[in-house]
Structure 1
Amino acid sequence: MENKKESAKKESTHPKLKTERPLAEKDEFREAQIRTKKGYEKVKRDK
């Protein structure tokens, strides 16, 4: 059971799985990336 949870966690953060990541979340990430490098790094750390 725990192993399944781990793989699911990995999948949701995988950049290639666009279906797992909501569009709004992706846009937010993009915005932070454009705004400042500091913001981009913060978002990167959160994910």
Structure 2
Amino acid sequence: LEEDRAAAVRGAYLNGESYAELAERFKVPLNTMRTWLRRSLLKLRECLER
């Protein structure tokens, strides 16, 4: 994952940050953050399935 996407995933799923908090921290719209996280989880799943 790209560094900013990886940091967002860690923030959401390890640190319990909300999507809104992450969107504010990375200065992106809320829907963009949702997309980042969804696509990142799909990429991680792909890696685990190999």
Normalised TM-score (structure 2): 0.36
> Normalised by the size of structure 1, how large is the TM-score?
0.37
**Rg bigger for which structure?**
1
1 or 2 for the larger relative contact order (CA 8 Å, sep ≥6)?
2
